Structure 1
């Protein structure tokens, strides 16, 4: 397989797994090793961040109606307080991931080449997904306290490590504090916007690959991301996250076998 095809395949992998609770960064780490992608740890992290930026476009399109309602509410006196609170909750929940990204940047980059660590973290994701199907809550997003939003943000910060699913852990955190499943999914989607956008913008200048390769891989990531978003929403509402948990166990096992750990 050519290097060009490998990069395009990574774009497909990123888009297909970004919003499914199976850790896109974990898949990128394992697949890039399986494909022998000739990038060092820093270059891998930069390329993966740009692919995340492509899936930012997918979630932006998918959540446009909700975003427009929030922003439009700022101009309507009867909706303004709700919109301000909504934005405040998202900002508070974003803080832990931002801090983790700045404080642990070098450590996290090195983990993108550690297949064994990533595989073990997929087992952690699997455990969260199995437990998530047991929760049943009725709290809406605007019922959240700022402490509750911060706790969901801490789960998102933990997902900065490859193998830990951002969507899986944020949905788990939201369900854990009693949110209804549809609102847990919505909050997770909206919460992904500033993190994926910020990471992609910061890393885009460090990508050493040809522009045509990056653009085409990003297009595949965007298109697959749309499909992944739709599928995740359907399966969360139907309490089918355990199937993703089984999948994470399988992929994690493959990664450990590949590294000779098992």
Structure 2
């Protein structure tokens, strides 16, 4: 890929990873529109940049949980265990079905249908009232269901952030806590995906610049999503995903 292509993909990854519109779907669409030869290893390596963005955004919560573990606080220990439960399904699905999911990057019609599903979830999310559970209060069953949703979001076109937010709120979590839990639970997955693929990416100045742009745009997107989920305005992204779905299915 050329340098400007890596920068464009970095910006797209940073914004769409956190805006509930599916980063993988948009990377595939942008690659098609700009005739960029898809390099799945670079797509995955971009996840390391989004890991950095999430870590910087939720670092206070990470510090709080870590201090609790050091002090043998029961609530912090329980939350950590639930985060592990939420992570396991995506790890298993990713390892077993990686080649199948990779093949879907070239199936834009499938991506279009999955984008419509993401859009419907976002519209429904706005219609659901905020629950009463903090992320410390959720059950192990809640954690597993959110984790299964994250595993499903490996499909290009399904938004990881959008689908896990939807499931968390559906299970009775406060919307702000759903936001925090969704992104904290993503840290092991995004870090793992990024680190595993970085070895296959030539770390040139252009590729590093793409990673930097992905991190910066990710931080901006996180701020936007946090405000919109609290204000019940995620339907904006729902309508966008449905329109994008129509465009992809009809014109690409």
User: Normalising to structure 2: TM-score of the pair?
Assistant: 0.96
Structure 1 residue 125 and structure 2 residue 121: aligned? no
Structure 1 residues 14-33: aligned runs within 5 Å: 14-33=13-32
Structure 1 residue 52 and structure 2 residue 47: aligned? yes
CA distance, structure 1, for counterparts of residue 120 and residue 175 of structure 2: 18
- Corresponding pairs, count: 251
Please, which of 64, 69, 76 is the counterpart of residue 59 of structure 2?
Answer: 64
State the match for 2:162 in structure 1.
168
**Cα shift readout 1:54-91 (whole Å, capped 9, x = no counterpart):** 011000000000000000112225xx111111110100
State the match for 1:5 in structure 2.
4
Structure 1 residues 176-255: aligned runs within 5 Å: 176-207=170-201, 209=202, 211-255=204-248
CA distance, structure 2, for counterparts of residue 26 and residue 65 of structure 1: 31
**Cα shift readout 1:179-214 (whole Å, capped 9, x = no counterpart):** 11111101001011011011111112223x552221
CA distance, structure 2, for counterparts of residue 84 and residue 122 of structure 1: 36
CA distance, structure 1, for counterparts of residue 175 and residue 142 of structure 2: 16
CA distance, structure 2, for counterparts of residue 183 and residue 210 of structure 1: 36
Shift of 1:45: 1.8
- Secondary structure, aligned partner of 1:206: coil
Shift of 1:144: 1.0
CA distance, structure 1, for counterparts of residue 86 and residue 203 of structure 2: 35
Structure 1 residue 157 and structure 2 residue 156: aligned? no
Structure 1 residues 106-145: aligned runs within 5 Å: 106-136=99-129, 137-145=131-139
CA distance, structure 1, for counterparts of residue 224 and residue 28 of structure 2: 23
CA distance, structure 2, for counterparts of residue 31 and residue 60 of structure 1: 27
State the match for 1:99 in structure 2.
92
CA distance, structure 2, for counterparts of residue 108 and residue 147 of structure 1: 26
CA distance, structure 2, for counterparts of residue 169 and residue 248 of structure 1: 13
CA distance, structure 2, for counterparts of residue 206 and residue 252 of structure 1: 32
Displacement over 3 Å in runs of 4+: none
Structure 1 residue 73 and structure 2 residue 68: aligned? yes
CA distance, structure 2, for counterparts of residue 4 and residue 198 of structure 1: 25
Shift of 1:20: 0.6
CA distance, structure 2, for counterparts of residue 205 and residue 118 of structure 1: 28
- Secondary structure, aligned partner of 2:21: coil
User: Normalising to structure 1: TM-score of the pair?
Assistant: 0.93
Q: CA RMSD in A?
A: 1.3
Unaligned runs of 5+ in 2: none
Assess if the C-alpha contact under 8 Å between 2:4 and 2:206 holds in 1.
no
